[in-house]
Amino acid sequence: MKIAVMGAGSIGGYFGGMLAQGGHQVTLIARGAHRQAIEAHGLKIVTDDREFTVRCATTDDPISVGPVELVLLTVKTYHNAQAVPAMLPLIDEDTAVLCLQNGIDSYQAVAQAVAPVVRSKKVLPGAAYIEASRPDPGVVRQSGQVVRIVFGELDGSDSDRGQLILRALEQSGIPAQFTQDIQQTLWTKFIFIATMAGVTTLSRQTMAQLVPRPEWREAIIDCMREIEVVARALGVNLAEDVVSSTMSYIEGSLEQMHASMHADVVAGRPLELDALNGAVVRAGRMAQAPTPVNNLIYAMVNPFKGGHPEQAR
């Protein structure tokens, strides 16, 4: 397949690099020193048990690439205002856009932007499960045993293009699932990630520090239950034990629990607050379900969402 990765940082770089290693024609849309390093030396992928370098095209100008068969959208959601219009030259009638961003409604803005360009829906929502970082320009570091992409059509159909993307991912060594209930997938992950990001960013502490304290454990569970109620009110078919199983997972992996929004607020970088706890508030209004925990998180973290190094602590 001819593929472009819009936002070839840690997550986009890893998946794009694996697809290139798998024989696909991949162009990484990247900027600055990262793009220059990839152009000069290739993309270096480092995992817990191996490292290798992939040669693939890279550019900071999507117009020079032209239409592709598949776009992976992996930029942070607060870059969408610039990234989504910039990626439109990559899209024509034969293009699918796989949105692997955080949140449960991020793909909607992408779908609206793409709609004038094409005559049919082209955006497939997805969830990426991976721990990745970019320690140096041109280098992506993937840690741990969990690497997976789950994606699906909005209407739940078993489409030919979905099967084609699934084969491309699996043949490139990326575990993947093409689901017929993508909303269940998005909300199940969202309960975990929005809660973890919200409480650790609010408190400026890690889950390992918070969970052993009874008052914070209760707040964490309340946050998850609140999101669950909103999801069910919107008709999402969540597992009955979604909160208890998520809490069990958190308690069994405390030392590995690191929310990127927590790291960003400590460093004074912009935050994906609107795509996470802000999305809970928006969905709650739509479902007419109260969201007091997430309202509080949003109100208290909102002053820092644009990035304020001098105020971060």
Average pLDDT over residues 49-67: 95
8 with 34: CB under 8 angstroms? yes
Q: What integer pLDDT is reported at residue 198 of this predicted model?
A: 98
Q: d(Cα 250, Cα 256) in Å, to the nearest integer?
A: 9
User: Average pLDDT of the chain?
Assistant: 93
* Contacts of the segment 218-223: beta carbons below 8 A, 24+ positions apart: 219/293, 220/195, 220/247, 220/250, 221/247, 222/293, 223/194, 223/195, 223/198, 223/199, 223/293, 223/294, 223/297
- pLDDT confidence bin for 101, thresholds 50/70/90: very high
Q: What integer pLDDT is reported at residue 110 of this predicted model?
A: 84
Per-residue pLDDT at 251 exceeds 70? yes
Q: What integer pLDDT is reported at residue 166 of this predicted model?
A: 98
Query: Which has the minimum average pLDDT: 179-193, 201-215, 228-242, 257-271?
Result: 257-271
Q: What integer pLDDT is reported at residue 118 of this predicted model?
A: 59
Average pLDDT over residues 152-173: 96
3-state secondary structure of 152: coil
Per-residue pLDDT at 120 exceeds 60? no
Average pLDDT over residues 13-27: 97
Radius of gyration for the chain, computed over Cα atoms and rounded to the nearest angstrom: 19
Q: What integer pLDDT is reported at residue 114 of this predicted model?
A: 78
Q: What integer pLDDT is reported at residue 312 of this predicted model?
A: 43
**DSSP per residue, 220-254:** HHHHHHHHHHHHHHTT----TTHHHHHHHHHHHSG
Strand ranges in the chain using DSSP code E only, listed in sequence order: 2-6, 25-29, 43-46, 51-54, 57-59, 70-73, 96-99, 123-136, 139-151, 176-178
Q: What integer pLDDT is reported at residue 309 of this predicted model?
A: 55
Q: What is the pLDDT of residues 194-217, one digit of tens each?
A: 999 999 999 999 999 999 999 999
User: Domains in the chain, please, with CATH?
Assistant: 2-180 (3.40.50.720), 183-304 (1.10.1040.10)
Per-residue pLDDT at 10 exceeds 80? yes
Q: What integer pLDDT is reported at residue 209 of this predicted model?
A: 95
Q: What integer pLDDT is reported at residue 313 of this predicted model?
A: 46
